[in-house]
């Protein structure tokens, strides 16, 4: 019995067999059929691959490659180069623009070590403003800092006031403030000067407030030391319509004891 080839099953006569024309013809037919099938499949592959000049699309491999190449070209155009000047034409140009904005912002902000100047960066202008404002401890000076000028104005008002026409008064009051409530120390209508407000506390955190002519002049600053005399305000300070001084206790729990002294005068 003849041997068969492993792939196409062609018959191979044995050495002791006589060649048969029909067997040879059958083998030829098998080869021809296999070749035809292979040629058809090769054409299908060729059709799927397409040609290297195919337009962008999804019909063939080369069309898809062209499409991907176009995508890459578009992406490269959008990205640009890291040497692109600042602008909006590419991502690198936009990054350069942002970097320039940051550099400008840093230059305008400056650093905390910069000296004061009215025409410099922000830190310099703040330092200049702070310089002109001065400190609360500045002495009177009509050409000095804002605080110095205010002290000078205050001294001028004090010096120009005819205190002989004033009616100085002293109010000393002791009591307690209930939790979550406030109490008026003085609430008068008229014209005069607030000369001083002093507080001797027996408990911590009573919040005094001063309202002059309907305007909050002292906004409930708390934390006065227990058992010591604290100067809350040292005048004179003019009021033309009304003066109200009060204590506020915003906490729950026990009431807070107080002892205050107010000096003032009426026209």
Express each pLDDT in 140-150 by its tens digit.
788 888 888 88
**CB-CB neighbours of 225 under 10 Å:** 11
Name the pLDDT band for 100 (thresholds 50, 70, 90).
very high
Whole-angstrom distance, CA of residue 167 vs CA of residue 267: 6
The tens digit of pLDDT for each residue in 170-213 reads 887 777 778 788 889 899 999 888 988 887 765 456 778 899 99
**CB-CB neighbours of 208 under 10 Å:** 24
Least Cα distance to 188 among 117, 243, 120, 114 occurs for 243
The predicted pLDDT at position 203 comes to 47
The predicted pLDDT at position 226 comes to 55
Q: Decide if 171 contacts 186 (C-beta within 8 A).
A: yes
Determine the straight-line distance between the first and last CA of the chain, rounded to whole angstroms. Answer: 144
pTM above 0.75, yes or no: no
pLDDT averaged over the chain? 82
The tens digit of pLDDT for each residue in 209-239 reads 899 999 888 776 655 555 566 777 787 888 8
Supply the DSSP string of 3-27, one letter for each residue. EE-TTT--EE--TTSPP-HHHHHHH
81-to-20, 77, 102 alpha-carbon distances in Å: 75, 9, 20
């Amino acid at each position: 019995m003849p041997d068969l080839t492993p792939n196409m099953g062609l018959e191979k006569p044995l050495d002791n067999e006589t060649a048969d024309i029909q067997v040879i013809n059958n083998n030829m037919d098998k080869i021809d059929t296999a070749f035809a099938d292979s040629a058809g499949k090769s054409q299908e592959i060729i059709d799927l691959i397409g040609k290297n000049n195919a337009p962008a699309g999804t019909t063939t491999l080369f069309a898809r490659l062209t499409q991907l190449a176009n995508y890459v070209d578009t992406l490269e155009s959008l990205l640009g180069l890291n040497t692109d000047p600042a602008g909006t034409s590419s991502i690198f140009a936009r990054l350069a623009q942002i970097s320039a904005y940051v550099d400008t912002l840093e230059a305008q902000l400056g650093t905390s070590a910069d000296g004061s100047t009215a025409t410099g960066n922000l830190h310099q202008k703040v330092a200049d403003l702070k310089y002109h404002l001065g400190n609360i401890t500045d002495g009177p000076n009509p050409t000095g800092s804002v605080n110095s000028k205010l002290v000078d104005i205050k001294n001028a008002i004090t010096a120009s006031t005819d205190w002989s026409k004033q009616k100085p008064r002293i109010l000393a009051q002791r009591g307690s403030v209930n939790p979550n409530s406030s109490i008026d120390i003085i609430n008068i209508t008229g014209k005069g000067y607030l000369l001083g407000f002093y507080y001797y506390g027996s408990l911590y955190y009573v919040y005094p407030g001063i309202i002059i002519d309907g305007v909050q002049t002292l906004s409930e600053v708390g934390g006065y030391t227990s058992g010591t005399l604290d100067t809350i305000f040292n005048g004179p300070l003019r009021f033309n319509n009304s003066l109200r001084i009060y204590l506020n206790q915003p906490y729950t729990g026990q009431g807070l004891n107080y002892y205050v002294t107010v000096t003032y005068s009426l026209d």
